Structure 1
C-alpha cells in the first residue's frame, strides 16, 4: 500500500534542483512528513481504540447488542479522531493553500495569497497555551493587515518540535509553491 506522506521528504531530497518536486501538482500534497509527536499521539489513540473495540466484542457476547453498538461507535469515533490528527497541517496544490486543523479546514486560493513568509515570534508549544520563542510560517492575504495573518505551522508544533531542518525545508517548499502559483 503506498503511503504518500512518507515520500514527501524523499521527493524533496531527490530533486535538489527543483523547487517543487511533486509529480501531480493538482493533488493536495503535504510538503513534509508528520512529526513524531503527532504520529505518537495518533498511535496512542489507536491503541485506546483497540481496547475499546475489544470491550465492544466482550459486551456483544455478554450484554445487549445496543450497548455493544454504542461502545463500537465510541471506538469508531476514536479511530476517526486519530486519522484526522494525522491529516492536520499545511497542504498545497495548484488550487491553493489548505490549512487542515483538527475540527476544520480552510482553503485559500493562490489568487488571494499576497505572501507566505517565515517570521520570528512567540509560538505555542505543541498547541498548548504556553508560548516560547520560535519561528512561524504565516500566510498574508491580499488586502488584509498583518495582525490577521494565520499561522500555518511553527517550529514548536507537533510536526517540527526538535526538527528545525525539517521546518526550514517545509517552509521553503510552501514559500516556493506560493511564489510559483501566485504569479499566475
Structure 2
C-alpha cells in the first residue's frame, strides 16, 4: 500500500504553504467541539431502530398491503430525521454570529447584536430534562437589555462527565465572540 504522504527517502512531505487550512474558512458555520458520547449513542440507537423499521417495511410490502408498508416507511424516515437532527444539535459559530440548534428550532444571533459571552455558575438542566443541578453555563447576552440566553451547559448531552471539554468549548466560543463582536 503506497504511503503518499511520504517522499522516496521516507521523510514526510512538506505541506504546501499556500493551501488554506480547514479551520481558516471563517465564513462557514462550525461546531467548536465534538458531539458528546450521550448524543452519539442515542443517535446510533435511533438509527438501529430505523434499520429495523426499514426491514419491517420491506417485509410488510412483500407480504402485506402497501398502506401498512407506507406507515412503517414514514416512521423510519421520522426516526432517521430525528437522529440526524440530534447529531446537528448544539452551538455553531462563524464570522457571522453564533447559532444554537435545538431539536425543533434554530436561533441565530449576529455578533453585532451580542453584548457579551461569558461563563457563569448557575442551576442548569440535566440532559435537557426539567431537573436542575448546580453547574456551569455559557451565556450570550444580547444587546437591548434582553435576558441572557444559555447556549451551553456542562450537564448537557455533549459535556456530561466531561468538564474539560466544556471548558475548551466555552473558551473557543468566547474567543470567537472576542474576535468578531463589535463593542
Please confirm whether the aligned pair reaches a TM-score higher than 0.5, indicating the same fold.
yes
Match of 2:134, SS state, is strand
Whether 1:61 and 2:78 are equivalent positions in the alignment is: no
* Alignment of structure 1 residues 1-184 onto 2, 5 Å: 22-145=23-146, 148-183=147-182
> What count of residue pairs does the alignment treat as equivalent?
162
Shift of 1:66: 2.3
Give the ranges of 4+ consecutive aligned residues of structure 1 lying more than 2 Å apart after TM superposition: none
CA distance in 2, matches of 1:73, 1:132: 38
SS in 2 for 1:22: helix
Give the TM-score, by structure 2 length.
0.86
- CA deviation map 1:12-68 (0-9, x unaligned): xxxxxxxxx922110000000000000011111111111111110110001112221
Gaps of 5+ in 1: 1-20
Q: In structure 1, how many angstroms separate the alpha carbons of the residues matched to 2:70 and 2:172?
A: 45
Distance in 2 between residues matched to 1:141 and 1:53, nearest whole Å: 45
Distance 1:45 1:83 in 2: 9
Question: Higher helix fraction: Structure 1 or Structure 2?
Answer: 1
**Partners in 2 of 1:98 and 1:144 — Cα distance?**
20
- Could you state the TM-score of these two structures normalised by the residue count of structure 1? 0.85
Cα RMSD of the aligned pairs, angstroms, is 1.2
The CA distance in 2 between the partners of 1:22 and 1:121, in whole Å, is 32
Alpha-carbon offset, residue 149 of structure 1: 1.2
- Runs (5+) with no aligned partner, structure 2: 1-21
